[in-house]
Structure 1
Amino acid sequence: MKLRTLLLLFLAAFVSGCGLLGRGGGGESSRTTGWEYNAEETGNIPYLSGYEQEAGPGLVFIQGGTFTMGRVEEDVMYQWDNHPRRVTVASFYMDETEVSNQDYREYTYWLSRVYPGDRKKIYAALPDTTLWRSELAYNEPYVNNYFRHPAYSDYPVVGVSWDQANAYCAWRTDRVNEQILVERGILQHDVSQSGENVFTTDTYLAGLYQGTEGDDPQENPDGTSRRVRWEDGLMLPSYRLPTEAEWEYAAYGLIGNTDGELLTDRRIYPWNGAYLREDRRKEKGRLKANFVRGRGDMMGMAGALNDNADITAPVFSYSPNDYGLYCMSGNVNEWVSDVYRPLSFLDVEEFQPFRGTVVTEYRRDAGGNLVRDEYGRLVKDTVADYRNFRDGSADSQMIETDDWNAEQDRSTSDMYVQDDRPGFFSSLISDEVRVYKGGSWKDRPYWMVPGTRRYLEQTKAQDDLGFRCAMTRVGSPEGF
């Protein structure tokens, strides 16, 4: 019986190998045509089955789901801009910690090496350390030391604008994807790259980056080397700022508070309960985050420094939440990608809520060639700008007018009062104002609630405002 079974298995394998039960030597075949994928005789049609995304450096996986976004306690500021609303967030990846001074110094060091003569570009990336300066406080040591001195290497970078944070995300994307290609033997590290010939993910995929080939390049069926394609799945999606919904969802870490599909405990902070101190025996009484306990009390009494942080604390301080994320409350506030609107929670979609979508496409010259700037980056043109979408109705306008319906093409500046004259009212709302969240070393506990939100012009920075990166997950929410 066993011999008969073995003979049948051998016969089946032989027939399949001869192409009688399928095409081309045992590879996966198309369910549409029967042609074999990735085979020279059928045109080398690409197909990769079972792809599973790996987390990029510094990132942890955040399994998505539904949650109630918005206010969880009394709105003591009376802003009415975070109405509770149930939404769903797709799975994604997020930095385990806030971006540290060391992380950001790696960026500025790279800029100095690649663009040594371009002081304007280098200075544009530097954090504004003068924000530590105060007219009635001795903060000059922080102006000179906080970003540069090794004592603060593991502290969160601050004084970075939203624009600067986005530029860092783009740079990090390119360096991570370049390193992936180097580790795979597809490229060699080129420390001499400069000017237009600088590796970016976009220019490499477009065939414009002229790098040095590695020892194990990708090959065509005829044995010639080829560039990695996006369809190969080797390179990672872009690092970016998280959306407000993603950030808030990740901060709560409700994965630890579920029983099946039942949420057992609604959180105020990234931990259970309404208390700000540890209740575990070993750490009992210690503060769970870095914040201001009361007027003039930034860190406690000498001999018992309760949070051990006069200003910021190292990024791995305190206990992580159930997703393994550190300092999602306190330490420094964090930029998110959303444009601020008071009533965003009433407008945005139920799935992946976000205000700030700007659709772009690559610019081409008259000959159809991609256009690059002086740094080799592909130039993009705006196709659609939805930052202001749905603003402009009679219900949303805040300016006086005799006949709103007669007014056409109202912009944000028309709807929200913008008056920079001293003593005159300004709403401070525009398409260049972004949300930040999380509370900081100089905030009271109210701002540590993930549902609270504040906003600032995207070109400005603060000494208590930093950021962390996120990355889109492609494929299933958790893997099949």
Structure 2
Amino acid sequence: MKKLLLTSIAFVFLLSSCGSKSKGELVGVQGKKWYPEKPYGMELIPRGSFIMGKSEEDMGNVLNAPTKTVTVRSFYMDDTEITNSEYRQYVEWVRDSIVRTKLAILADELGLGPEDDGIGAFAFRDADTANLSVYDKYMLDNYAGIGDYESRALNTDEDLIWETSDYPDEYYAEIMDSMYIPEEESYNGQRTIDVTKLEYKYNWMDIEAAARSQEGRRKDFIRTEVVQVYPDTTVWIKDFAYSYNEPMHNDYFWHDAYSDYPVVGVSWSQAKAFCNWRTKFKNDDQRARGKQFVNQFRLPTEAEWEYAARGGIEGGTYPWGGPYVISDTGCFMANFKPQRGDYAADAALYTVEAKSYEPNDFNLYNMAGNVSEWTNSSYFPGSYEYASTMNPNADTQNNTRKVIRGGSWKDVAYFLQVSTRDYEYRDSARSYIGFRTVQDYMGEEDSTQ
């Protein structure tokens, strides 16, 4: 029996080696060809070194940005700040997902499936078990119901119905009614979505903590975040005392007139959640098209932001070089607070459209002024002294102060300088802070394919 077993093993080995396409050579695992696409709305920032920090006079006397030569890897960056229109896409996706989940759960509780009328059309996809693959069937049998229906697929083929006169049944009306503010809280005949219910839940892994830990399992470093996604529109009132800004509060985020303006009222935590959603949104499409996943969208580090803002100009004071904020033709180069508070001097009172003024040499718009921008870095006054010279990033979970860069429509010219540092607390939202995202560079698209 033992001899027969050894003979069988040898025979299997002989077959596998004889039929090998590698001919016995070390050729590596033959995976899929990687043909990356340039991310939509982004510009490639080539790798390079630069002198980070204040090489000019430190007018603010902050003494926290001594010059230091650092190197950053290549990455893509949004050519504009994230706009209201782009952020509304995210908010509406979250809203629709919540509605579909509520409809699917109620349909499941009522025992309704895709073959039934009414909300049965919005039942979980796995309710129709006739067309499930072996893998989907296995996952349904072993994981369905774990984590409040998290493992079950929603039916996104059916369009949601928003007109009350078109609701298919009373169950649909019940779910939709639960999404709106109570009747007694509505006014002027408008009953709006209860934005406090628009929450995005995601998981991420604390890689740095895991790498530095001497013990612990992978699950010990997986973090769960639940973030309300709707921007705080009240910042237009709260940020300014004795000032009439109600039109901005009422219209800025949702009205089409402001679609191409940068989103504000978004905290650092909300910006991070947006990055996670954007990655998921893209990779869901990649999966549907049978393509390899893309790497994550994220906030830029402080070093990446400054390098991109400089646009390849060594020693420039501003993204256009500097040292002046007025062009040869007498026009202001950015949206900020010039001339002792004459906000209208630069042709704007508040924010301007994201593609305003001239871009820098990396083709990035408004890297100075308009809105300050969140970075991924924590704010430490002395971080330049000890941060690495390769892709520096001083970031800790327990430091709630996050670096913002670029200055805004309400700031004086000093804060527009590419080397000026400022910070805000991670859970704070302001009428003058927005963000843009980056993605690590992983190669050029093959134009021959």
| TM-score computed with the length of structure 1 as normaliser | 0.60
- Aligned equivalents of 1:35 and 1:85: distance in 2? 44
Counterpart contact for 1:53–1:473, Cα < 8 Å: no
Q: Please name the residue that 1:270 is paired with.
A: 319
- Aligned equivalents of 2:271 and 2:327: distance in 1? 33
Matched, 1:76 2:44: no
Deviation at 1:275, TM superposition (A): 1.5
Counterpart contact for 1:348–1:355, Cα < 8 Å: yes
Match 1:338 to one of 364, 373, 377: 377
Amino acid at match of 1:285: G
Residues 419-474 of structure 1: per-residue CA shift (max 9 Å, x gap): xxxxxxxxxxx611111010000000000011111111100111000000001123
Distance change >3 Å, CA 139–CA 158, structure 1 → 2: same
- Aligned equivalents of 1:47 and 1:111: distance in 2? 34
Q: Please name the residue that 1:260 is paired with.
A: none
Give 5+ residue unaligned stretches, structure 2: 1-17, 103-178, 180-193, 200-227
- Aligned equivalents of 2:278 and 2:230: distance in 1? 16
- Aligned equivalents of 2:27 and 2:57: distance in 1? 62
Matched, 1:250 2:308: yes
Residues 100-132 of structure 1: per-residue CA shift (max 9 Å, x gap): 000000000011100136754416111111110
Amino acid at match of 2:365: Y
1:11-90 to 2 correspondence within 5 Å? 29=22, 33-34=24-25, 45-48=29-32, 51=34, 53-90=36-73
Which has the larger share of helix?
A: 2
Matched, 1:171 2:171: no
Counterpart contact for 2:308–2:362, Cα < 8 Å: yes
- Aligned equivalents of 2:414 and 2:443: distance in 1? 37
Q: Please name the residue that 1:319 is paired with.
A: 358
Matched, 1:433 2:389: no
Match 1:454 to one of 417, 422, 425: 422
Counterpart contact for 2:310–2:321, Cα < 8 Å: no
Matched, 1:308 2:347: yes
Amino acid at match of 1:329: A
Matched, 1:445 2:440: no
Residues 279-322 of structure 1: per-residue CA shift (max 9 Å, x gap): 3xxxx22111101112230022xxxxxx3211000000011111
1:99-248 to 2 correspondence within 5 Å? 99-116=82-99, 120-122=196-198, 124-133=228-237, 134-182=240-288, 184=289, 186=290, 234-248=292-306
SS at match of 1:313: coil
Counterpart contact for 1:24–1:36, Cα < 8 Å: no
Residues 83-104 of structure 1: per-residue CA shift (max 9 Å, x gap): 1110000111100100000000
Deviation at 1:24, TM superposition (A): 7.4
Q: Please name the residue that 1:287 is paired with.
A: 332
Deviation at 1:48, TM superposition (A): 4.8
User: Percent identity of the aligned residues?
Assistant: 41
SS at match of 1:87: strand
Amino acid at match of 1:131: V
- Aligned equivalents of 1:60 and 1:138: distance in 2? 38
Distance change >3 Å, CA 52–CA 76, structure 1 → 2: same
Distance change >3 Å, CA 351–CA 36, structure 1 → 2: closer
- Aligned equivalents of 1:35 and 1:69: distance in 2? 44
- Aligned equivalents of 2:27 and 2:368: distance in 1? 53
Q: Please name the residue that 1:94 is paired with.
A: 77
* Alignment: residue pair count: 307
Residues 348-407 of structure 1: per-residue CA shift (max 9 Å, x gap): 101000011xxxxxxxxxxxxxxxxxxxxxxxxxxxxxx28xxxxxxxxxxxxxxxxxxx
Deviation at 1:35, TM superposition (A): 6.2
Deviation at 1:52, TM superposition (A): 5.0
Residues 16-41 of structure 1: per-residue CA shift (max 9 Å, x gap): xxxxxxx979x7x58xx42667xxxx
SS at match of 2:276: helix
SS at match of 1:108: helix
Amino acid at match of 1:313: V
Distance change >3 Å, CA 144–CA 448, structure 1 → 2: same
Amino acid at match of 2:323: A
Counterpart contact for 1:59–1:95, Cα < 8 Å: yes
- Aligned equivalents of 1:90 and 1:475: distance in 2? 12
Name the Cα RMSD after superposition.
2.5
Matched, 1:351 2:390: yes
- Aligned equivalents of 2:322 and 2:235: distance in 1? 35
Residues 132-170 of structure 1: per-residue CA shift (max 9 Å, x gap): 013311101111101011110000000100000000000
- Aligned equivalents of 2:232 and 2:368: distance in 1? 23
- Aligned equivalents of 1:35 and 1:71: distance in 2? 51
SS at match of 1:53: coil
Deviation at 1:77, TM superposition (A): 2.1
